Amino acid sequence: MTNILVKRVHKDKLTNSIEDLIVEGYRVKNRGNGIAIMERPGKYGSLLLHLIILLFTAGLGNIIYAYLTYSKTRSVIHLKTEDS
């Protein structure tokens, strides 16, 4: 369920693109020659919704809700250099 995006950039702009993504909240997961994998962790959902789900499901619903929300909001970007 993780959103994975492949973005091609010119090799001169790879460092600038990495810095831009770090400002947006991504972290460098892996960096090699001509490629960088950036990851932004997901969120676990609203506290109010967790409390409501807790009242009706005794905790199991919270785990499922947190997992699904985290999976949908997690994002990974693969930055690759162009062959030009």
pLDDT tens per residue across all 84 residues of the chain: 678 899 999 988 999 999 999 999 999 999 999 999 999 999 999 999 999 999 999 889 999 999 999 999 999 999 999 874
Cα of 73 vs its chain's centroid, Å: 7
Angstrom CA distances, 60 to 15, 16, 51, 80, stand at 43, 43, 12, 40
Q: Cβ distance 72 to 42 under 8 Å?
A: yes
**Burial of 52 per CB tally in 10 Å (0-12, 13-18, 19+):** middle
* Number of folded domains that form the chain: 1
Q: Any idea what DSSP says for residue 24?
A: T
- Which amino acid appears at position 83 of this protein? D
Cα of 44 vs its chain's centroid, Å: 12
| pTM (predicted TM-score) | 0.76
State which residues form the domain around 70: 3-81
